[in-house]
């Protein structure tokens, strides 16, 4: 399919010339406008509507109950960013309601039925509560806790009150953690593991991937009620439900006892140190002498290298009271305070995460 010759993502037109020192700032500001068009694409499922072939702006607008003129403006912006193609050639300026648009490879990453779909990442970042939360980072910097975290307790308090956002968030975590789960089964030796409890396991993408790769392993998925129910459904669809227990509850209150391995994937970074230690102590109480903990999280590089974790760290500040990314020494210190001792760190290829393995240490 032919891309328009103008406004391609490799030559983003900015308010100022690219060599101008203000260009980097403009790019960030413009990114907010651009993201808004991408959010419309995800929210109205334009990728799904274009899946079977090109359609005109008027036709798309009718399908999703939109105003044709407003939708045309967004479609034009999406072509300029490279998420859609102008089906009839590079006719961006003065787009008409009768102009047709086609899905390209980049836009197709927003198709909902793709297991690694990016649609949920966009919906989760762009839905109103989550989006507004980001402007509270400055309050967090000045006052310690963002207004969002103060109002809802954490992202999960907000999601309990907003079921649609909760469904999108779970789907986002499942698509985001898919690569992590696959890297984990490639890299980590599950040799003698027979039972795995996934603490804060979401809908269980990591646990189900491990169980699918190791048919002898039985699992327990622990998460909040509304999440675990969605997880159970997903395990049923994969034919894994008969090897798994589903435990709905608060991980601070109790963790099922006696598993060989306790997984905590993307969980500790949601918590400030006192809560992280509290949760890990709860896990430690549930462990047998020879059980292991396997925490999957980002370890920030301490050599100043650029890393996705530095951006995610800001997201954690906006939506959790104490949530933060940590470097390896900080992570070890949290585990140590909880009575655990790190026995290995494995980086997970094609993801920014590492698997941090720990056992009970004694004396505590
Ligand atoms: C960032 S998600 C990680 C999901 C999954 N482990 C993954 O890596 O994709 C954190 C999970 O912790 C769960 N969670 C948060 N607070 C919890 C609590 N108090 N008790 C049980 N689960 C909780 C959330 O519902 C969410 O599914």
Q: How far apart are CA 205 and CA 211, in angstroms?
A: 10
**Distance, CA 323 to ligand 1 centroid (Å)?**
13
Give, for ligand 1, the residue of 210, 223, 322 to mutate: max count of ligand atoms closer than 8 Å to Cβ: 223
Atom of ligand 1 nearest to the CA of 177: 9
Decide whether any atom of ligand 1 lies within 6 Å of the 201 Cβ.
Answer: yes
What is the Cα Rg of the chain in Å?
23
**Distance, CA 168 to ligand 1 centroid (Å)?**
14
| b/e code 43-70 from CB counts within 10 Å (16+ = b) | ebbbbbbbeeebbbbbebbeeeebebee
pLDDT of residue 94: 67
**Distance, CA 156 to ligand 1 centroid (Å)?**
8
Question: Which part of the chain has CATH 1.10.10.10?
Answer: 23-111
- Which tops the pLDDT comparison, 2 or 82? 82
Q: Are 326 and 159 in contact (CB under 8 A)?
A: no
Question: Which part of the chain has CATH 3.40.50.150?
Answer: 181-360
Q: In the predicted model, is pLDDT for residue 252 greater than 80?
A: yes
Per the document, the length of the chain is: 364
Decide whether any atom of ligand 1 lies within 6 Å of the 227 Cβ.
Answer: yes
Q: pLDDT confidence of 9, banded at 50, 70, 90?
A: very low
Q: For the ranges 5-9, 39-43, 178-182, 213-217, which has the lowest average pLDDT?
A: 5-9
**Distance, CA 199 to ligand 1 centroid (Å)?**
7
pLDDT of residue 311: 96
Decide whether any atom of ligand 1 lies within 6 Å of the 200 Cβ.
Answer: yes
pLDDT of residue 90: 56
In the predicted model, what is the mean pLDDT of residues 350-357? Answer: 97
Q: In the predicted model, is pLDDT for residue 91 greater than 60?
A: no
Q: pLDDT confidence of 2, banded at 50, 70, 90?
A: very low
Residue nearest atom 12 in ligand 1 by C-alpha distance: 200
Partners of 347 in the β-ladder: 354
Q: For the ranges 202-206, 223-227, 302-306, which has the lowest average pLDDT?
A: 302-306
Q: In the predicted model, is pLDDT for residue 88 greater than 80?
A: no
Q: In the predicted model, is pLDDT for residue 242 greater than 90?
A: yes
Q: In the predicted model, is pLDDT for residue 71 greater than 50?
A: yes
Residue 346 CA neighbour count, 13 Å, CB half = 17
224 burial via Cβ count (<10 Å: 0-12, 13-18, 19+)? middle
Per residue in 260-277, pLDDT (tens digit) is 999 999 999 999 999 999
Q: In the predicted model, is pLDDT for residue 51 greater than 70?
A: yes
In the predicted model, what is the mean pLDDT of residues 183-195? Answer: 97
pLDDT of residue 147: 95
pLDDT of residue 19: 87
Per residue in 278-321, pLDDT (tens digit) is 999 999 999 999 999 999 999 999 887 899 999 999 999 999 99
Percent of the chain with pLDDT over 70: 95
Per residue in 159-172, pLDDT (tens digit) is 999 999 999 999 99
Instruction: Please choose, from the candidates 87, 125, 265, the residue with its C-alpha nearest in 3D space to the C-alpha of residue 182.
Output: 265
pLDDT of residue 268: 98
Q: In the predicted model, is pLDDT for residue 190 greater than 80?
A: yes
Question: Span 181-360: which CATH code?
Answer: 3.40.50.150
pLDDT of residue 266: 98
**Distance, CA 271 to ligand 1 centroid (Å)?**
11
CATH architecture under which domain 23-111 falls: Orthogonal Bundle (1.10)
In the predicted model, what is the mean pLDDT of residues 329-356? Answer: 97
**Distance, CA 154 to ligand 1 centroid (Å)?**
11
Residue nearest atom 13 in ligand 1 by C-alpha distance: 200
Q: In the predicted model, is pLDDT for residue 89 greater than 70?
A: no
Q: In the predicted model, is pLDDT for residue 5 greater than 80?
A: no
Decide whether any atom of ligand 1 lies within 6 Å of the 156 Cβ.
Answer: yes
Atom of ligand 1 nearest to the CA of 270: 1
In the predicted model, what is the mean pLDDT of residues 205-229? Answer: 97
| Average pLDDT value for the chain | 93
Atom of ligand 1 nearest to the CA of 263: 6
pLDDT of residue 303: 86
**Distance, CA 244 to ligand 1 centroid (Å)?**
17
pLDDT of residue 6: 37
Tokens of 276: 């992280």
pLDDT of residue 115: 86
Decide whether any atom of ligand 1 lies within 6 Å of the 202 Cβ.
Answer: yes
């Amino acid at each position: 399919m032919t891309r328009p010759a103008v406004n391609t993502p490799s030559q983003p037109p900015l308010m100022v010339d690219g060599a101008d020192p203000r260009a980097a700032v403009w790019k960030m500001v413009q990114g907010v406008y651009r993201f808004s068009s991408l959010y419309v694409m995800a929210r109205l499922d334009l990728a799904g509507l274009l899946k079977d072939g090109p359609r005109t702006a008027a036709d798309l607008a009718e399908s999703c109950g939109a105003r044709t003129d407003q939708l045309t403006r967004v479609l034009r912006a999406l072509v300029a960013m490279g998420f859609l193609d102008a089906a009839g050639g590079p006719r961006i300026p003065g787009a008409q309601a009768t102009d047709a648009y086609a899905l390209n490879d980049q836009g197709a990453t927003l198709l909902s039925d793709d297991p690694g779909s990016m649609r949920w990442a966009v919906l989760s970042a762009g839905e109103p509560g989550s989006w507004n939360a980001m402007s509270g980072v400055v309050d967090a910097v000045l006052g310690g806790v963002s207004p969002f975290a103060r109002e809802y307790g954490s992202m999960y308090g907000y999601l309990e009150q907003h079921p649609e956002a909760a469904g999108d968030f779970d789907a986002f975590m499942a698509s985001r953690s898919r690569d992590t789960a696959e890297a984990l089964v490639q890299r980590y030796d599950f040799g003698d593991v027979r039972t795995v409890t996934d603490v804060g396991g979401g809908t269980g993408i990591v646990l189900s991937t491990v169980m699918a790769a190791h048919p002898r392993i039985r699992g327990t998925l622990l998460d909040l009620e509304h999440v675990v129910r969605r997880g159970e459904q997903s395990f049923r669809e994969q034919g894994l439900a008969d090897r798994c227990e589903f435990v709905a509850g608060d991980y601070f209150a109790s963790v099922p006892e006696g598993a060989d391995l306790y997984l905590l994937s993307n969980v500790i970074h949601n918590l400030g140190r006192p809560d992280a230690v509290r949760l890990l102590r709860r896990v430690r109480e549930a462990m047998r002498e020879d059980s292991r903990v396997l925490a999957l999280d980002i370890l920030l590089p301490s050599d100043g290298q650029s890393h996705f974790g530095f951006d995610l760290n800001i997201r954690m500040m906006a939506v959790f009271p104490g949530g933060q990314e940590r470097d390896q020494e900080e992570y070890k210190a949290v585990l140590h305070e909880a009575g655990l001792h790190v026995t290995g760190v494995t980086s997970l290829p094609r993801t920014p995460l590492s698997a941090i393995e720990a056992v009970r240490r004694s004396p505590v």
